[in-house]
């Protein structure tokens, strides 16, 4: 059965071997002429078929390397070396089989991701049982049961009891993560140890894992531009090959010498090495949590000279933290935070949540608040500890309490929340958007990788933008920008190609306008991910540098594999030109040339020395050969 499957998968290889076997039988039966006619007819048929492809390519304006294969087969048949012609045919067909194997090897991370895609879900029915249904039938609000070891089918909130989940397929994190009831659990994660109950918050097509799969499939199905780059070598390689063959014929006066040279000039290394290297690089990127949508993007990414960053959610976490507490005389910092949290407990505003969480993290006892009122875009009013209290903007506190809040400029990059009572000011809380822990190291790594210019494009004020930029080492700050203004900035950045890094819906236009758009897609920014060319599936800024390092290594490996194939072929051509390499031996040696080029190309699936050297600098564990670099635990959102 395996032999039949193999024959169906590689019919030309099977047919070539069958013709060779029949030819040997006919030769053993004492019919050398019939053997020669049989093998030659088959070889010329394949040459004509290959020539048809070549003509179609030429009509499209593409000059490939098929011409050398066609000439080599035809020449060996004309000089009477039909067995060499058959081996050239076997080399061409065998090269396709080798490419298929190499592609499967390079494709393994992508294939593993696709194979893990859930197809069914266990949905709660009206009688309390769970019924298995196709994942496409899951609706928002359905309660799903996920057994230990099963993949969460859709995005949802955890119900019941706490549960551990393996999130490595999404984040690369090797350690399981504990989620509490009410936490968001993303599709694609795997339940650990206990049965989990998930209430669906999104349909299957809108869930995180399906979005990743869509991106990966698009990347895997895109033809690598390095095939076209390899074709750029076609004309000079063909000219050099024909020239060496013609000179060998002219000097020796023997047409066989022409055929012997062209047999070892067949183009399989150039045709196979480049796409294998690029697919291997895309697989390597996928294993590191980075989806590169096409080989063209990979090539452009390797040449990036300018990287522009959005600020909020990219350089910073996009989630405010309590940075400084400034108590009024007679109060402590904890008392200021306790009073502020008492009022803000009743607000759903993100700043209010930050203050309440900060008080909870510090273990501060929060007093009870009554008669709570919220003034939209101004603040909260409440009765706390028997005093009328206001929390929010300075003007709101003054209007409610009649007292002027503490004076003082608000530092750049901060928001001030004032606290006061009818007895007087209590203090203020300064909130800041925290800069990512590895932002500075990422920018340093980018410069090390050859990026000449780093810019920040932000809608915030100049002072806020400058404050963040100074912390991470960015000189070119362009602030106060609307989405359309960011798009205009793309044409002003001089050093190209330009990569733009963003994370939100408002970044989608500029990501599409940039030479390479890089989306921080870990939090499901669908519009940004769809507009981008590269999607970083982790909430880890350092992956920007990692993706460029992978792209540079991929292009380098692809070119090395191409030049290796060319170099070996040229050496063999020179040897053949002196009559030291019979056609049948040369054709056999070409199989080893193919294998050498493929093995060289597959090196792109492993991390290079540069990537391993960058890992400690970016706060990542050093990557071992063939292992993914896991995200830094300290920089996970």
Only one residue has tokens 């362009």, namely 478
Separation CA 614–CA 618 (nearest Å): 6
Contact in structure between 10 and 2 (CB atoms under 8 Å): no
Residue 132, number of CB atoms within 10 A of its CB = 9
Closest CA to 306 of 489, 472, 454, 488: 454
Q: Per DSSP, what are the bridge partners of residue 427?
A: 327, 419
Only one residue has tokens 């194979």, namely 115
Contact in structure between 305 and 450 (CB atoms under 8 Å): yes
CA dihedral 368→371→375→380, nearest 10 degrees, is -20
Q: Which two tokens stand for residue 49?
A: 């078929």
Catalytic positions: 310
Only one residue has tokens 């050859």, namely 450
Backbone angles phi, psi at 482, to 5 degrees: -85, 165
CA dihedral 542→546→547→553, nearest 10 degrees, is 170
Separation CA 153–CA 137 (nearest Å): 11
Residue 510, number of CB atoms within 10 A of its CB = 26
Phi-psi label, residue 579: left if phi above 0, alpha if psi -120 to 50, beta otherwise: left
Separation CA 379–CA 400 (nearest Å): 10
Separation CA 106–CA 488 (nearest Å): 39
Whats the size of the chain, residue-wise? Answer: 637
Q: Which two tokens stand for residue 119?
A: 């197809």
Separation CA 208–CA 186 (nearest Å): 6
Residue 316, H or E segment: strand 316-327
Separation CA 264–CA 572 (nearest Å): 6
Backbone angles phi, psi at 184, to 5 degrees: -75, 130
Q: Which two tokens stand for residue 222?
A: 């895109």
Strand order in the sheet with 387-392: 316-327, 424-435, 414-421, 387-392, 379-384, 369-375
Contact in structure between 514 and 498 (CB atoms under 8 Å): yes
Count H helices, E strands: the chain? 24, 22
């Amino acid at each position: 059965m395996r032999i039949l499957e193999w024959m169906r998968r590689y019919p030309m290889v099977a047919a070539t071997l069958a013709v060779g076997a029949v030819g040997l039988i006919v030769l053993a039966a004492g019919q050398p002429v019939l053997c020669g006619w049989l093998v030659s007819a088959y070889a010329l048929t394949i040459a004509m078929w290959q020539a048809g492809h070549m003509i179609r390519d030429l009509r499209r304006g593409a000059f490939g390397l098929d011409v050398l294969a066609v000439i080599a087969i035809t020449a060996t048949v004309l000089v009477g070396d039909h067995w060499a012609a058959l081996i050239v045919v076997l080399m061409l067909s065998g090269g396709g089989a080798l490419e298929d194997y190499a592609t499967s090897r390079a494709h393994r991370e992508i294939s593993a991701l696709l194979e893990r895609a859930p197809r069914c879900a266990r949905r709660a029915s009206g009688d309390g049982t769970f019924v298995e249904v196709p994942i496409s039938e899951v609706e928002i609000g359905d309660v799903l049961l996920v057994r230990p070891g099963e993949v969460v089918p859709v995005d949802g909130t955890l119900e019941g009891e706490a549960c551990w989940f393996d999130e490595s397929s999404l984040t690369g994190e090797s350690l399981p993560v504990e989620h509490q009831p009410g936490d968001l659990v993303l599709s694609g994660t795997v339940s650990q140890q206990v049965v989990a109950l998930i209430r669906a918050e999104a349909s299957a097509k809108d869930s995180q894992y399906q979005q990743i799969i869509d991106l990966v499939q698009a990347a895997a199905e895109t033809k690598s531009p390095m095939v076209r780059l390899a074709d750029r070598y076609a004309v000079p390689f063909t000219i050099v090959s024909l020239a060496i063959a013609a000179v060998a014929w002219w000097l020796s006066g023997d047409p066989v010498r022409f055929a012997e040279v062209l047999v070892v000039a067949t183009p399989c290394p150039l045709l196979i090495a480049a796409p294998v290297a690029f697919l291997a690089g895309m697989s390597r990127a996928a294993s590191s949590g980075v989806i590169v949508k096409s080989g063209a993007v990979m090539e452009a990414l390797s040449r990036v000279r300018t990287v522009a960053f959005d600020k909020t959610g990219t350089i910073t976490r996009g989630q405010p933290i309590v940075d400084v507490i400034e108590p009024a005389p007679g109060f402590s910092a904890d008392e200021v935070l306790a009073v502020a949290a008492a009022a803000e407990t009743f607000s759903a505003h993100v700043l209010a949540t930050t203050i309440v969480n900060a008080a909870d993290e510090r273990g501060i006892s929060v007093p009870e608040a009554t008669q709570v009122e919220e003034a939209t875009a101004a603040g909260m009013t409440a009765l706390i500890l028997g005093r009328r209290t206001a929390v929010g903007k300075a003007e709101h506190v003054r209007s409610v309490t009649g007292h002027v809040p503490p004076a003082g400029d608000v530092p750049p990059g901060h928001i001030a929340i004032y606290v006061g009572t009818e007895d007087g000011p209590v203090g203020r809380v300064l909130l800041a958007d925290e800069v990512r822990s590895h932002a500075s190291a990422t920018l340093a790594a980018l410069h090390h990788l050859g990026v000449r210019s780093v810019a920040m494009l932000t809608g915030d004020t100049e002072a806020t933008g400058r404050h963040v930029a100074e912390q991470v080492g960015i000189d070119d700050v362009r602030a106060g920008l609307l989405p359309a203004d960011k798009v205009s900035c793309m044409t002003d950045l001089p050093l190209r190609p330009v990569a733009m890094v963003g994370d939100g819906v408002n970044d989608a236009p500029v990501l599409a306008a940039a030479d390479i758009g890089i989306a921080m897609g870990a939090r499901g920014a669908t519009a940004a991910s769809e507009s981008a060319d590269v999607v970083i599936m982790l909430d880890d800024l350092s992956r920007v540098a990692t993706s460029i390092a992978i792209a540079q290594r991929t292009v380098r490996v692809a070119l090395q594999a191409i030049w290796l194939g060319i170099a070996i072929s040229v050496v063999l051509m020179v040897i053949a030109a002196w009559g030291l390499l019979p056609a049948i031996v040369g054709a056999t040696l070409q199989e080893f040339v193919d294998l050498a080029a493929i093995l060289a190309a597959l090196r792109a699936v492993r991390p290079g020395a540069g990537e391993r050297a960058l890992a400690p600098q970016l706060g990542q564990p050093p990557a071992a050969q063939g292992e993914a670099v896991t995200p830094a635990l300290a920089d996970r959102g």
